[in-house]
Amino acid sequence: MDKLLIEGGVRLSGETAISGAKNAALPILCAALLTREPVTFTNVPQLNDIGTLLKLLAQMGVKVSRGSGSDAGTVTLDASALDNPVAPYEMVKTMRASILVLGPLVARCGEAKVSLPGGCAIGARPVDQHIKGLQAMGAQVTVEHGYVHAVVPRLKGARLFTDMVTVTGTENLMMAACLADGETVIENAAREPEVVDLANCLVAMGARISGAGTDVIRIRGVEQLSGTTHRIMPDRIETGTYLCAAAASGGEIRLTRTSTAYLDSVIDKLMDAGCEVISERDAIRLKAPARLTSVSIRTSPYPAFPTDMQAQFMAINAVANGTAIIRETIFENRFMHAVELQRLGADIRIDGNMAVVQGVSQLQGATVMATDLRASASLVIAGLVAEGETVIERIYHLDRGYERLEEKLAALGARVRRLA
Ligand code: UD1
């Protein structure tokens, strides 16, 4: 299993480009299931999660063509011969987002059999809201032998209300509603920018959607959708992660092919921590002070502070001046990085969904273990500022969500090497 060796103590400086958003690409690729015509996507990141999804789509009968070289980010999907609306356990166990095929498959084929997902070990993460929504739209849904089985001749538009804000739940139901008979209203909808990117793609395919980006989304079903070309939005979490790495290291960097547009809550906190952040057209510059000031955060659905940036902020607070309180309100088990950060010398106390981080002046390199995707990112940040060598084990988690991580960090001057 690959490991990452980081020699800490370098102030990051220079420029690197941000990739397309994993969390936008995953639902948007699934949207191709809704049409018989080919759909082309650009700026698709080359990540293990994307590879897993493309394999899953291929075994359903979708023709997958992927560009190479400078076109590696272009993917064309042709679901005209879709004949097997099944997502088997072996293919979906590593990725919770595979549940995103459920809505489009039921809408297009009238039936779907999708394994209950695996993915990051950050809590129970049920899919009851996805199922409840499809049932309200007329589907017969059973959960048997670890599979969700949904059947319906044609979904019917309905008024849907989710018990909590769910991102993939909103996306699944929005896709399903595109081909339903009549109007669907999703209340308490997720407002994440990735939901908006998906809605934009669906509208380009002929869907009739309004309100994406607000908490009430209206979808008027149509008979069929058509092909289109869609560019995936920049990854705001990857952007935030590199900003945090530069901030913790006291560095100065420029990130291209991204923007501050969807990062207000994160940028605000970085500025509170003492960083200077300059927004350019399609780029962001950050200049960090020699030592950051602690910043408290509380995770919440968009536009509030994202749970996917919580671990990275724990790492920067570990070396900041002062004490920070971190409250995690989305997932019940998302502090697994804390014990690993403690191995590097961080002073962190966990109390339920709250972490108290007392900044220390220096972390020390050690061997640590990545436990989930964003937890791994926090260990990379900590390793970059720790004294000496840090070895991060189980970096397959990082490969799920960060494209060419070592290459990009090296472009910023970091001393990082992958050990096979
Ligand atoms: C998405 C993101 C993930 C991010 C998360 C929260 C993708 C592919 N993944 O995950 O990176 O961390 O949003 O911003 O976009 N819940 C239920 N029942 C459901 C659905 C959700 O109880 O049917 C709960 C979850 O357990 C969790 C909360 O609702 O506590 C939010 O989860 P949700 O927004 O659905 O997360 P994902 O869409 O899986």
For 230-264, write each residue's pLDDT tens digit: 999 999 999 999 999 999 999 999 999 999 999 99
C-beta 163 within 6 A of ligand 1: no
Residue 209 pLDDT > 90, yes or no?
yes
Q: State residue 117's pLDDT score.
A: 73
Q: Token pair of 370, please?
A: 């990545």
Tell me: the pLDDT tens digits for 353-374? 999 999 999 999 999 998 888 8
High-pLDDT (> 90) share of the chain, %: 88
**391/370: higher pLDDT:** 391
Residue 368: which region, alpha, beta or left (left: phi > 0; alpha: psi -120 to 50)?
A: beta
What's the pLDDT at 122?
A: 43
Whole-angstrom CA distances from 406 to 46, 119, 403 are: 14, 23, 9
* Span from the CA of 108 to the centroid of ligand 1 (angstroms): 24
The 3-state DSSP composition of the chain as helix, strand, coil percent (nearest 5) reads 35, 30, 35
Do the Cβ atoms of 44 and 64 come closer than 8 Å? no
For residue 127, the ligand 1 atom closest to its alpha carbon is 23
Closest CA relative to residue 199, chosen from 223, 164, 167: 167
Cβ(308) – ligand 1 distance below 6 Å: yes
3-state DSSP call for residue 284?
Answer: strand
Taking the CA of residue 192 as reference, the ligand 1 atom at the shortest distance is: 14
Average pLDDT, the chain: 95
Two tokens at 15? 């420029």
For ligand 1, atom 32, name the residue with the nearest CA. 166
d(C-alpha 353, C-alpha 350), whole Å: 7
- Tell me the per-residue pLDDT of 21-38, one tens digit each, with 9 for 90 and over: 999 999 999 999 999 999
Looking at residue 332, what is its pLDDT?
81
Q: Which residue has the higher pLDDT, 399 or 217?
A: 217
Tokens of 348: 């962190």
Tokens describing residue 387: 């004294």
> Is residue 74 a contact partner of residue 67, using CB atoms and an 8 Å limit?
yes
Distance CA 139, CA 141 (A): 6
Q: Are 243 and 279 in contact (CB under 8 A)?
A: no
Active site residue 201: no
Q: What spacing in Å lies between the alpha carbon of 332 and ligand 1's midpoint?
A: 11
Predicted pLDDT of residue 120: 44
User: Three-state SS for 40?
Assistant: strand
Neighbours of 271 (CB within 10 A): 13
CA nearest neighbour of 118 among 99, 142, 145: 99
Distant-in-sequence contacts of 405-410, Cβ < 8 A, 24+ apart: 405/4, 405/380, 406/4, 408/16, 408/17, 408/242, 409/12, 409/245, 409/380, 409/384
Give the pLDDT band (50/70/90) at residue 118: low
